[in-house]
Amino acid sequence: MPVHWLEEIGSDDIEDVGGKGASLGELTNAGLPVPPGFVVSAGTYRSFIERAGIDEELFDTVDVDVEDSSALAAAAERAQTLVVESDFSEDVRSEILDAYRSISTDDAGGEPFVAVRSSATAEDLPDASFAGQQETFLNVREERLLERIRECWASLFTQRAIYYRQKQGFDHSAVNIAVVVQRMVDADRSGVLFTSHPSTGDQRMIIEAAWGLGEAVVSGAVSPDNYVVDRSEGEILTATVTDKTVMQVKDPETGETVEKSVPDERREQRVLSEAEIRELVALGERVEKHYETPQDVEWAIVDDEVYMLQSRPITTIDTGSGDAFGTPESPAEELSGGATAEGNVTDGSGAVAEGEASGGAGDDVLVGGLGASPGTVSGAVRIVDKLDELDKVREGDVIVTEMTTPDMVPAMKRASGIVTDEGGMTSHAAIISRELGVPAVVGTQSATTRLDDGQVITLDGKRGTVTSGASTTSSEPETTPAPTPSAAKPMTATEVKVNVSIPDAAERAAASGADGVGLLRIEHMVLSLDKTPERYVQDHGADAYVDELIDGIRTVADEFYPRSVRVRTLDAPTDEFRELQGGGDEPEEHNPMLGYRGIRRSLDRPEVFRHELDAVRRLFEMGYDNIELMFPLVNDAEDARRAREQMVEAGIDPDKRDWGVMIETPASALSVGEMAETGIDFVSFGTNDLTQYTLAVDRNNGAVADRFDELHPAVLELISSTIETCRDRGIETSICGQAASKPDMVEFLVEEGISSLSANIDAVRDVQREVKRVEQRLLLDSIR
């Protein structure tokens, strides 16, 4: 049959109604409050493409190399065209429209509004969640119902869906798709409910709630209220009320879903009463009891009636050992980045004096520097003076070099540790080592001359020391493990995101439990090509360059979807470009950090800038709606306006896509009010640059390193005034500099009302804990 009513189906029908349809049928038959509706079956989709004679061409079309971006784009466009331009048979058309007319009329006696949602047969399964891969349409009426159903079917063949499905090993021809058509709930409040903790399975319900339709919560457009309930006692443990700036509602005239500002009197008003929380908890208990497994439930309230809109298994629970609440074993672990109170990883202090640290045989400290990436490891020294010496680096060796470059990343993956003569906490070696989880000591000044090739050493990436011999405390390297979800993610109103520099670190970054990516640097992708953008385009063509950027960004966007990924355009100084093929024409600059970089370079070379924007536009077209665009070293409103113009020329609508600027200079901080008029959606503090430009301290100059202080009152005043200005204008604020890992800076930023923080991979969990501690203190202070 083309149509199945929800009360007629259940989990045994998943192959014909998909995961979402089966779940709604189960909820309906369990007596839970589900809006009425029906499912256009997967069999109907299959007979549709077969009757239209497009099935063979459809599956042949999408059988492409998904790493070939051009081929993937062409395949997706052709496949979707085949579906949307084919016609329904008369019998199917009639049955669907009859079912729609049977749902009910609206309150005024007219046609009902319905939600049209995809329900793929590989979606919402216990061991694989494909949620978000296909389309959903809200507030649909009869006139467009059949069109929307075809578009749901066609969304099975977007670039992102084809790519993701192939990478997951699903046969395109074996994946069918059903479509749920359900009476719209014009919610005044909505959200999600986890019946158990989504990381640990602990018996605490977590409810997130916001005003209006639930899409604002699911998409991340709003920071919802957060309620944590102890299921065993029924006690509401925490109730975090946020500033909810926007809501999604139905336009009464057009029926379209629109975003509007939350009325001032409701922005900081609590969404749910205690009675409503208890009602949701009771429904959650019933859902979990029915499925006999923890559930992720979408709910809505309209006219004081609670409706269950969707339920699916929580697939992220880790049943491994460990403290269910991620509580540190000792107070020292509260420090950012996993550093102990004795370490220097978070304070940026200089080299450790000889004899001060331990860890190697005999505690014979050979050289000291900055502890740039925590962990202790022993291995044989491999001194690398030239790139052609990288082949001698084998698994478990320690790379010792003057400074690392993007070309060294493959060898850095093999190495157990990194030691450099030059560089600071924001050098290439420091950033990449932290993302790879490889212990590193940087800025030793003399490691390449004081250490011998083949010599066995122990480096302590926490203390910043290199000692002689193998570690006496362990026979195995004590490297920093990749973050895992086994430690519970602290629930915070302030989002905690993660910084990513290389696509290879995406999986490790996603496992940190971050709320998204606050900074994805394009320059490391470009520098790894070993050619300037101009030379690469000259040698390989513009399409090849754009494809390289797409592949790198997409790797991260896939890992985090639907969490947001903030992509920063090119921001490499001229001295780094000079090291690449084609870099001979780069200008000679006395201080490249003050020179030809960031947005000023991009605006001066619009043809190169256009390639970056083309890559982002193509990703939007593939369906990567979790990507946001960020411009570096923007000084004033004129810079922001010109960047916006470039977006428009590249085919990116700045009114529909989130974009923003870095606040890295005093000028940008003082000009943020004018920049707000250009339509920016967010700003992000780059505290490394903001500090050096405010205090006139070169962050890479060891002679003045002791004067580099992100907590200097002048720097804090610029940050504070920017946050206040942005809050008044409804603009999100974030931080992605090194200072985001410092407890004192975290406390300051949360108190000031920053929207999010973005930390290095190894520091995410500690920053989450610190944010939660500060938020709880502020909450207690407000009620005492």
- CA atoms in the 13 A half-sphere facing the CB of 689: 25
Amino acid at 646: Q
Phi then psi for residue 261, to 5 deg, are -75, 145
Task: Name the percent of the chain in helix, strand, coil, to the closest 5.
Answer: 40, 20, 40
Triad 345, 348, 353: Cα angle to 5°: 80
Question: Parallel, antiparallel, or unpaired: how do β-strands 627-631 and 659-663 relate?
Answer: parallel
Name the nearest CA neighbour of 179 among 162, 157, 161, 156.
Answer: 156
Whole-angstrom distance, CA of residue 509 vs CA of residue 501: 10
Tell whether the torsion through CA atoms of 561, 566, 569 and 573 is positive or negative. Answer: negative
List the alpha helices (DSSP H) in 396-528: 409-414, 428-436, 447-450, 506-510, 523-527
Using a 10 angstrom Cβ sphere, with 0-12 exposed, 13-18 middle and 19 or more buried, the burial of residue 450 is middle
Whole-angstrom distance, CA of residue 640 vs CA of residue 680: 8
| Residue 136, beta-bridge partner list | 117
Whole-angstrom distance, CA of residue 440 vs CA of residue 658: 35
Q: Which two structure tokens, joined as six digits, stand for 712?
A: 């200097």
Q: DSSP characters for 171-182?
A: -GGG--EEEEEE
Instruction: Using the structure block, give the residue that is written with the tokens 């749910």.
Output: 272
Q: Which two structure tokens, joined as six digits, stand for 411?
A: 């060898």
Angle (deg, nearest 10), helices 69-84 and 142-154 = 150
Name the nearest CA neighbour of 177 among 298, 79, 61.
Answer: 79
- Count the residues in the chain: 784
Instruction: Confirm if 387 and 407 have CB atoms less than 8 A apart.
Output: yes
Catalytic residue among 4, 197, 611, 736: 736
Catalytic residue among 428, 524, 611, 726: 428
How many CB atoms within 10 Å of residue 521? 22
Whole-angstrom distance, CA of residue 511 vs CA of residue 500: 13
Tell whether the torsion through CA atoms of 396, 402, 406 and 407 is positive or negative. Answer: negative
Q: Is 152 a catalytic residue?
A: no
Q: Is 726 a catalytic residue?
A: no
Instruction: Confirm if 720 and 712 have CB atoms less than 8 A apart.
Output: no
DSSP character for 125? B
Taking the CA atoms of the chain, what radius of gyration do you get in angstroms? 27
Instruction: Confirm if 565 and 516 have CB atoms less than 8 A apart.
Output: yes
Whole-angstrom distance, CA of residue 546 vs CA of residue 138: 34
Instruction: Determine which helix (DSSP H) or strand (DSSP E) holds 567, and give its type and residue range.
Output: strand 565-568
Phi then psi for residue 396, to 5 deg, are 90, -10
Whole-angstrom distance, CA of residue 539 vs CA of residue 551: 19
How many CB atoms within 10 Å of residue 561? 21
Instruction: Confirm if 473 and 547 have CB atoms less than 8 A apart.
Output: no
| Residue 675, beta-bridge partner list | none
Instruction: Confirm if 401 and 420 have CB atoms less than 8 A apart.
Output: yes
Whole-angstrom distance, CA of residue 300 vs CA of residue 688: 43
Whole-angstrom distance, CA of residue 33 vs CA of residue 309: 9
Whole-angstrom distance, CA of residue 364 vs CA of residue 141: 77
List the alpha helices (DSSP H) in 517-561: 523-527, 533-540, 542-560
Instruction: Confirm if 183 and 36 have CB atoms less than 8 A apart.
Output: yes
The residues assigned a catalytic role are 428, 736
